[in-house]
Amino acid sequence: MLMSIREKQPDSDERELVDAARREDRGAFKALYDRYRDRVYNLAFYWLGEALWAEDVLQIVFMKVYRGLPGFRHEASLSTWIYRIALNECQNQLQRRGAKHVPLDAILGSDEEFDPGMLPDAEQVDRERRHILRNAVMDLSPKLRGVVVLKYVEGLSYDEIAQVLECAPGTVASRLNRALAELETRLHPLRRIL
Amino acid sequence: MRCWRVNLRQKFSLYLNGELSQSEVKRVEDHLLDCASCRARFAQLRSGHRMAQQIPRFTPERDPWASIEASLNAETNTEPTPMSEPPPIVRGRRFAIKPGFALAVIGVVALIAASLIASGKLAPGQERTGSLIADALDLSEFRTVKIADMERNRQPHVVAEGYVSEVRVNGEDGDLSFKLVDDPRGAGPFIICEIIDPIKLTPPSVGSLVRVYGVSRYDGQVDHNWYEVHPVLNIEVMRR
C-alpha cells in the first residue's frame, strides 16, 4: 500500500518560518520549500499529467509563494494558501496549453497484445500498476480528480479540502463518493493486479 | 430498490476514511445492516477506496530550488507586489479601480520597466512588449477578432486590437490585467486582458493602441461576466 500520511507540522513552527522568510531569511524560505515541494509537485503532476510540466509549475508556484509572503496574514492555513496558488497555476497552465490527457483505454491496449510467453518481472508489474492508477486518476473530471488527489495523495482532511477548494465539506464528500465509484468502475477489470 | 437515505449514503467515503464521529459510524453501520442497496453501493466505494489508497506519490526528478534561488537573487532589486489572503480558485474578479490606485499601478508598471532597463534587458527607448513565449508562437494561427464581436468567437487563439483604458494589479496574486476598448473616450464593448507573469511581459501603457494575442475565454460569475484574453501571450504596440 503506497498511501502516505502527511505529517502534521506544528502551526507555530510554520508561522515562525513564514515570518522569517518575510524578513528575507532565505534559509527559512528553503525550509518551507522543502516542506511543501513534493506536495505541490504531486498536485501539479496529477493535474497536468506530465512530469516536466509539473516541475516547471513547481518553480512558478514557489516564486508566487515567495512574492506573496508579505501579504499573507495567517487568516487561512499556510497549506491552504499554497495549495490554492498551485491549483490556480495548474488551471492557468492547462488553459494556456490546452493539453489533452490520453485516456486509460489508449494506454492499456488490447488482449491481442498480451504475449503469454513473456512473464513480466515484479518491478515491471509495479511500474505498470502505478501507471494504470495514475492514468485512472487523470481520467477523472477535474472536480473529482481534485478531491481524490487532495485526499489520497496529499492526505488532507475533508475540512481542509473544502477550504482549499472553497466549497462545503458536504460537496467534498459527495465528490469523493462519485470519484471512488468511478475509480472502481474503471479499475474493476484490473483489480487482480491492484 | 434505490435507498432514499441520501444523507447517509453521502457519509460512506467519510466512514471509509475514518472521519465520522462514533455516533455517525453507528448510524451508518446500522443502516447497512438493513439496506441491500446501500450495502452494494458501500462495497463499490470500499473497493474504490482501496484502489485510491494505492495512488502513487512522485518526487520531481529535477529539484528546481537552484532555479528558484537564482530568480529570487535576480529579483532582489525589484519591488515585490503585495498579496492579500488566500487567492480564490480561478474565478473572475470585480474589475473596478479608483483613480488614485490607477496612478499607483501606473507607477508600479513604470518601476518594473525602469528595472528592466537598469538590468540591461530592455534598452532605453525600446518597448519590449512581447513575452519570451512570443518568440515561439506562430502568430498566423491567431484569429483576428473585433472587440465587439468577441462573444461570437469560437476559436481559442485570438488577436484583438484596441486601446488600453485601465491597467490593474490583482491584489490577490500579483497578476496584471488591462482593459481593451474600441473607443478610449467612452463606454462600450471591452475585453479584459490578463498577463499571468508580469515579469516577462511588459504591460502596455494606458491610452496606447495595441494588438493583443492570447487565449480567448469567457468569465461568467455572479458579480460580473465578460470576455477575456487570458493569458496574454504577446502584445504589439501600434501607437503609444
pLDDT in tens, B43-52: 999 999 999 9
Q: Which long-range contacts (CB under 8 A, 24 or more apart) does A6-15 make?
A: A6/A39, A6/A154, A6/A155, A6/A156, A9/A35, A11/A77, A14/A78, A15/A74
What is the average pLDDT score of chain B? 74
Q: Which CATH number fits domain A10-100: 3.80.30.20, 1.10.1740.10, 3.40.50.10860, 2.40.50.100?
A: 1.10.1740.10
- CATH architecture assigned to A101-194: Orthogonal Bundle (1.10)
pLDDT-derived band at A193, boundaries 50, 70, 90: low
pLDDT tens across A5-19, in order?
Answer: 455 555 678 899 999
| Residue bearing the bigger pLDDT, A2 or B75 | B75
CB–CB contact B64 A182 (8 Å): no
* Beta-strand relationship, B190-195 and B225-239: parallel
What confidence tens digit (pLDDT) does each residue in B97-107 have?
A: 444 444 444 44
Of B49, B85, B191, B62, residue with least CA distance to A182: B49
**How is chain B split into domains, by residue range?**
6-52, 94-239
Instruction: Measure the CA angle with vertex A190, ends A180 and A117; round to 5°.
Output: 165
Half-sphere exposure of A164 (CA within 13 A, CB side): 27
Residue where the block lists cell 516564486: A63
Interacting residues of B41 by C-beta distance below 8 A, sequence separation 6+? A181, B3, B9, B12
Q: Which three cell numbers stand for residue A52?
A: 516536466
Instruction: Give per-residue pLDDT as tens, A103-130.
Output: 444 444 444 344 444 455 677 777 778 8
Residue B62: the pLDDT is 86
User: Which DSSP string do the residues of B26-90 spell out, in sequence order?
Assistant: HHHHHHHHH-HHHHHHHHHHHHHHHHHTTPPP---SS-THHHHHHHHHHTTTSPPPP--S-PPSS
Give the pLDDT of residue B128: 40
Listed in sequence order, the DSSP H helices in B96-175 are 99-118
Phi, psi angles (nearest 5°) of residue A38:
-65, -35
CA distance B82 to chain A (A): 5
Pairing mode of beta strands B209-220, B176-181: unpaired
CA distance A23 to chain B (A): 13
**Beta pairing class for B157-169 and B143-145:** parallel
Q: Choose from A152, A153, A154, A191 for mutation: most chain B CBs within 10 A.
A: A152
Q: Does A174 touch chain B (CB under 8 A)?
A: yes
Q: Which residue ranges make up each domain of chain A?
A: 10-100, 101-194
pLDDT band at B124 (very low <50, low <70, confident <90, very high): very low
Ranges A28-32, A87-91, A129-133: which has the least confidence: A129-133
Q: Which segment, A44-53, B18-27, B113-122, is predicted with the most confidence on average?
A: B18-27
Q: Do residue B54 and residue A1 have CB atoms under 8 angstroms apart?
A: yes
pTM reported for the whole predicted model? 0.57
Range ranked top by mean pLDDT from A37-46, B123-132, B198-207 = A37-46
The complex's ipTM works out to 0.80
Q: Dump pLDDT digits (tens) for A160-188.
A: 999 999 999 999 999 999 999 999 988 87
CATH class, B94-239 region: mainly beta
Contact B86 A84 (CB under 8 A): yes
pLDDT averaged over every residue in chain A: 82
pLDDT over 90 at B67, yes or no? no
